[in-house]
Structure 1
Amino acid sequence: MSIELLSLLLVGIFTGIAAGVLGIGGGLLMVPALMVGGLTILQATATSLVGVVLSATSGSVRNWRTGDLNLTVSLGLALGGIPLAQVGAWLGNQLPAAILAFCFAALQLAAIYLMGLRRYLATQELEDISTQHQYRVKTIGIGSLAGLLSGLFGVGGGLVMVPLQMLLLQSPIKFAIRTSLGAIVLIAISGLVRHGIQGNVLWLQGVSLGVGGILGAQLGTRVLPKLPERWVNLLFRFLLLAMAGYTIAEGLDAIPE
């Protein structure tokens, strides 16, 4: 195995742990890692979805086996996300590389706020007054936003699904993490199919990330019930800041002279 693929395997392990613990697909870290390896922003966003699909599947299978995955809610989220992931993947193919890079960096910075919002919501006791119909509509709406982000930026969408489930559906944080991870599987597959058709995916690099993600997600879902979230959040926020700076620099380099 080459040094490049071994490095991607290690990145996949780390992002897989993040997927299991934080309920995200890992693309926020996978995309910059692929860019460091020489891929364009479009290739990186497309290829990262391979790793996102594999790592999210690994974590969700374990959650399902332990009876901790609510398939009904996960499928509701995916129902909204699947078609919008197609739209996001198409849109990513239309945008200039610099614009895509700047937007991705903005998403990374927004993630820091959303993680803080999630921690705050976890301390609140909110009463859910939604009717069953309203609950379903909100669920599909949350999934739709996640799907657009997934197809456009090569992320799973858990970044928005977890806090929005907590805010709009009053879901407990661990419930939201697990249902988000389950929905990511189908949403990311949708975006990956579109990017594959457009020829943006580098499969070998994606599989290397994915294999590491599978190992990491299994560990992440095992430690989720035990692990204090504070240190994981702090480390992830620091990495997001660093990666956002790198992505902005890449976007500046991509501006035509």
Structure 2
Amino acid sequence: MNVVTQRAREKGFVFGVIGILLGALLLALFGGPGLDEGRRASLELLARTHSGTSTVVEWSSMPALVFVGGCAGLLAGMLGMGGGVLKVAGLLVVFHLDILLVRAISLTTMFVATASAMPVHARMGQIGWDTVRPMFVPALTGVLAGTFLGTIVPKPTLTHFFAFFVIFLAFSTLAQTFAGLERSPDVIGVRGPLDRGLQFTCMSIGGLHGFVSGLLGISGGVVAVPMQQSLIDVPVRQAVGNSIVLSAWITGFGSFAAVASGLHRGDFLLGDVLFASGCIGGGAWLGSQLGARLSGQIPSFYMKLLLVLVSLLAGLVILFK
């Protein structure tokens, strides 16, 4: 590893740490009651959050749902990441939906999107199967663990954790943009059998990918792609392809678990999930087609800055609402 690459990664680490610290500070100050208030304050916050959310999707919201899906698809089509985060943030901020309903809707739409994209990446040779195989089992285990944890923690806690994650995403994107962590798409990635250390790293990436996806209802590409680039030197195109393969399986298992759990607990109705998923999925498909066409015309630098601004705004709105 040369000096320039090492310094770039050190800068990226610093940006990430700053993001974690700022997100933790905001969460501690504004994200909920202090620890010293105990059980009474937690119950008050839970009741207040329930009163401000909904588990019913109105038919009149169809145009807005399509618009949110279109914006998410546009971003995902141009950058290859961030679409799931924008979907969840939009459903929370614009529609004030219950976090468990939002998670089920997002996982369902992400499954359709990633499953349809997986054969395309496979035909283009953009999947490193030697890298994906050790990630597979930890990823499926992680998504089930994340989905289960998301059903037992208090809903305000899950909502605030998502806000913290979105703020961290903004700083992580800044790190990749300004610290020079991006690599040429033509660099050859991992080939052939992996040694034991790389296998363990791949397993860790897969487990974290699945856990974040199941817990927050996103595809997890915003976590898996930069980790593959920085930890195991996978080029960006292959990292995206690997992430899409895992995301297809992860969101498939996760959507089934989230919907089944929500229906069993009475958190929402199946019709609401299907209606919202259809609207958002249709909008996302249209947006992704436009995003793919614009990806070569608008510099990714400006689109990533837009992702940073949207992420910061969404995270702060969720924390302060």
Q: Hey, what does 2:313 align to over in structure 1?
A: 242
Verify: 1:34 aligned to 2:94, yes or no.
no
Q: TM-score, normalised by structure 2?
A: 0.69
Q: Number of matched residues?
A: 250
1:149 aligns with 2:212: yes
Change in 2 beyond 3 A, CA 1:38/1:96: same
Tell me how far 1:238 sits from its aligned partner: 1.0
**Is the aligned partner of 1:105 residue 2:168?**
no
Shift of the alpha carbon at 1:25? 5.9
> What are the Cα deviations for residues 187-206 of structure 1, in whole angstroms up to 9, with x where unaligned?
11121111111125622112
Shift of 1:51: 1.8
1:176 to 231, 239, 243: 239
The structure number with the bigger radius of gyration is: 2
Change (3 A) 1:72 1:9: farther
- TM-score with structure 1 length normalisation? 0.84
Calculate the aligned-residue CA RMSD, in Å.
2.9
| Larger RCO, structures 1/2 (Cα 8 Å, 6+ apart) | 1
Q: Where does residue 182 of structure 2 map in the other structure? A: 122
Distance 2:61 2:80 in 1: 27
The one-letter code sitting in structure 1 at the alignment partner of 2:301 is R
- Please tell me whether the aligned partners of residues 66 and 280 of structure 2 are also in contact (alpha carbons under 8 angstroms): yes
2:77 alignment partner AA: G
Match of 1:80 among 138, 143, 149: 138
Q: Which runs of 5+ in 1 are unaligned?
A: 251-257
Answering whether residue 273 of structure 2 is matched by residue 208 of structure 1, we say no
Residues 113-140 of structure 1: per-residue CA shift (max 9 Å, x gap): 2223333211599x98x94333332222
Runs of 5+ consecutive residues of structure 2 not aligned to the other structure = 1-57
Indicate which of 174, 188, 197 corresponds to 2:260. 197
Secondary structure of the corresponding residue to residue 234 of structure 2: coil
* Secondary structure class of the residue paired with 1:198: helix
Matched, 1:22 2:22: no
8 Å CA contact 1:158, 1:181 repeated in 2: yes
Report the residue type matching 2:237 in the other structure: K
Distance 1:50 1:208 in 2: 12
Q: Which amino acid aligns with 2:90?
A: A
In the alignment, the residues of structure 2 paired with residue 203 and residue 182 of structure 1 have an alpha-carbon distance, to the nearest angstrom, of 24
Cα distance per residue 1:214-253 (max 9 Å; x no partner):
3333444555566521111011111111111221134xxx
State how far apart, in whole Å, the 1-side matches of 2:298 and 2:232 are.
25
Indicate how the Cα distance of structure 1 residues 62 and 15 shifts in structure 2: closer, same or farther if over 3 A, else same: farther
